[in-house]
Structure formats: structure tokens, C-alpha cells
Amino acid sequence: MRIGVRPYSHSFSDDERNYKTKHEREEDAHRDPLLVLSKFLVEENVLDKPELERIKREIDHQVLEAAHTALKAEPTAPESALANLYSETADPTSSQFDVVAQPEGEPKLMSDLINATLKEEMRRNDRIVVFARMLPTAVAKEIFPRSKAKAASSS
């Protein structure tokens, strides 16, 4: 049983058509937890559609504000770049780490390797739940106007 859902690609380099069938993509879109929960809340009269839309707009606004705050923030001090990078108990410069790399196979994109790992782990362990969702298009375009980043539609 597949319980992980990522109904949209992460970026232009992560084209889910390369590793998911059309049926799987449609199935994932129907299982999108945000859409399923939204539908449930309206059907159970917990929220009406206008209230749900208000909440979505409020969340988009909060994400946009947080992004603007982050973009306006002072850059991190260069001398802090190595803070918390290595273990406090293991010395990465020790001979324990002196090994020669032995690459095998064809080079692959990091996104392909992550997807393959997730797929394998989810196949082996049905308790793993994965959900990822991109920013709504309007929010992403405002935050990253010159970026090639791909955003999901905000249904």
C-alpha cells in the first residue's frame, strides 16, 4: 500500500512523468491531503467555502510575509558557516574518514536519488508517510520573481 503523496513535481528538474504513470499522478492528485481535508471540512459543515478560502488566503499571506522577512534579514555572518556542521564527537579530518571514493554507474541528479530512496523505503515500510507540496503559484512568483522554481496550483 502506497501512503506517501507528492501530487506535484518539485521543480523543472524533477519531472514526475519520468517516474510516475499518468494513473499514479491522477491518483495522487485525488489523495492530496490538503484537498481531502478541505472537502471533508466543508462536507461536515465544520467550515463553509468562504471561510475555507479566507483561511487559505491568510496562510498565503503568512507565507509571503515570512518570505519577505527572510529576504530582508541581514545575511548570516560568514564565520558562522561551519557552526554545527560536524559532529561534536567525531573528527571528520581523522584517518577514520580517509577513504578513496569509488563511484559506480551513471551520474544521477540528487532529486532522482532522493525519489528512488523514498520509493524504495516506502515499498519496504508501509508505515512511512510522505507529503510535500509547493507554494501556490501566485505566492511563489512574488517571492521568487526571477527564479525558475516551479510552483503548484493552489487548489
pTM of the model as a whole: 0.46
Q: Which of 57-66, 78-87, 112-121, 123-132 has the highest mean pLDDT?
A: 57-66
**pLDDT score recorded for residue 141:** 58
Confidence of residue 7 (pLDDT cuts 50, 70, 90): low
Task: Identify whether 97 is part of a domain.
Answer: no
Task: Identify whether 89 is part of a domain.
Answer: no
Instruction: Name the nearest CA neighbour of 8 among 145, 143, 137.
Output: 137
Instruction: Name the nearest CA neighbour of 14 among 114, 135, 145, 139.
Output: 114
Task: Identify whether 6 is part of a domain.
Answer: yes
Of the two residues 22 and 33, the one the predictor is more confident about is 22
Task: Identify whether 82 is part of a domain.
Answer: no
Backbone dihedral region for residue 53 (phi beyond 0: left; psi -120 to 50: alpha; all else: beta): alpha
Backbone dihedral region for residue 21 (phi beyond 0: left; psi -120 to 50: alpha; all else: beta): beta
Task: Identify whether 83 is part of a domain.
Answer: no
**pLDDT score recorded for residue 130:** 66
Confidence of residue 77 (pLDDT cuts 50, 70, 90): very high
Report whether 131 contacts 6 (CB < 8 A). yes
How many structural domains are present in the chain?
Answer: 1
Task: Identify whether 148 is part of a domain.
Answer: yes
89-144 pLDDT, tens digit each: 888 788 988 888 888 999 988 878 887 888 888 888 877 766 655 555 555 555 55
Task: Identify whether 47 is part of a domain.
Answer: yes
Task: Identify whether 100 is part of a domain.
Answer: no
Enter the DSSP assignment of 13.
T
The parent domain of residue 60 ranges over 1-73+108-155
DSSP string covering 75-120, please? PPPGGGTTTTSS-SS--TTSGGG-------SS---HHHHHHHHHHH
